[in-house]
Amino acid sequence: MDFYLTALLQGLCFAGIAFGIYISMKIFNIPDITTDGSYTLGGVVTGAMLTHNQPGYLILPAVLLAGALAGALTGIIHTKLKINALLAGILVMTALYSVNLTILGRSNLPLLNLPTLFSVANLITDVNQNSLIILMGFVLILTTLIGYLLKTDFGIAMRATGNSEPMIRALGVNTDRMKITGLAIANALTALSGYLIVQLQGFADISMGIGIVIVGLGSVIIAETIINWLRITSVWLSLVLVMAGAVIFQFVLALTLNIGVDANLLKLVTAVFVLLIVGLPRLTGRQA
């Protein structure tokens, strides 16, 4: 049972990445893989600030700002220098590895006995269940904020930018600036996942972000499959499904480990799983 509780906790932590990928990939139609770097960035900023005894109310804004800067950089390279978004993301991600290593000062930083987000309130004695309550509250607030943002006039303009650029430019929106802002928001959310996971597992690691983009992609694709299947148009419901996608993704991984699949094969299983959820609807669609 504890096994699946851990999966649930991780899934909730990854909701940030899932929202980030949802914004960059689904809303802006930009394949952004700054993710690996900005996720680790969020983690190392959290780790470094915690060990330097910085107050919690400073750490969260610092993490969001760091992630936003990374995303904005990718956005500027993509829009102003007209470089392919994938390449722009790879460049920033690569550069961030050195930045992250410098911030962390070493390759692994344990955060033992430091006050974290999960120790601010002790609502119940069980540590994991206590974390679950705090995390659920956190993700609920996050989902509400993003949902509200997408409903505002700014949010509608964001969605239109990825949908019909000629239209939204003719309606007075600077699409370059909009894309830069969008990637900044997406990567701030990704960094937020790093912030959460580092505090949950109690250490920051330089390689924690390797291949993490697949977690976001997988979550969004799970959500999208359900969205298309049920023909959902509501923004709120879509966001809830993206969050659920992140949790489902972790459950599937926990399940595969539980049935005895070698942990070394986990990335392979992850890739195959994502391939399945992308591929299956198309295969069944062909028969119909």
Partner 1 sequence: MIELNNIHKTFNTSKPNEVIAINKVNLQINEGDFVVIVGSNGSGKTTLLNLVAGNILPDSGTITIDGNNVTRLPEYQRSKWIARIFQNPLSGTAADLSIIDNFRLAALRTKNKGLSIGKNEQFKKLVRDKIATLGMGLEDKVEQPIGTLSGGQRQALTLLMSVMDTCKILLLDEPTAALDPRSAENVLRIADDLIKEYKLTAIMVTHNLKDAGNYGSRIIQMGEGAVLKDIAGKEKDSLQQNELYSWFG
Q: Which residues bind partner 1 (CB under 8 A)?
A: 148-149, 151-154, 156-157, 159-160, 163-164, 166-175, 233
C-beta closer to partner 1: residue 129 or 234: 234
Of 26 and 78, the one with the shorter C-beta distance to partner 1 is: 26
Residue closer to partner 1 (CB basis): 167 or 268: 167
Coil, strand, or helix at residue 81? coil
Shortest distance, CB of residue 151 to partner 1, whole angstroms?
5
Nearer to partner 1, 82 or 286 (CB): 82
CB of 42 to partner 1, least distance (A): 24
To the nearest whole angstrom, how small is the minimum distance from the Cβ of residue 101 to partner 1?
37
* DSSP bridge partners of 205: 108
- The least distance separating partner 1 from the CB of residue 161, rounded to whole angstroms, comes to 9
- 8 Å CB contact between 206 and 101: yes
Is the distance from CB of 165 to CB of 175 less than 8 angstroms?
Answer: yes
To partner 1, the closest distance from the beta carbon of 176 in angstroms equals 9
> Considering only CA atoms, which of 17, 49, 57, 10 is closest in space to residue 187?
17
Angle of CA points 226, 230, 232, to nearest 5°: 90
Question: In whole angstroms, how close is the CB of 49 to partner 1 at the nearest point?
Answer: 28
The alpha-carbon radius of gyration of the chain (Å, integer) is 19
Instruction: Give CA–CA dist 188/111, Å, rounded.
Output: 22
Instruction: Select 30 or 198, whichever has its Cβ closest to partner 1.
Output: 30
190: helix, strand or coil? helix
Exposure b/e, 193-221, CB count within 10 A at least 16 = b: bbbbbbbbbeebbbebbeebbbbbbbbbb
CA distance 288 to 284: 7
Q: Which is nearer to partner 1, 108 or 163 (CB)?
A: 163
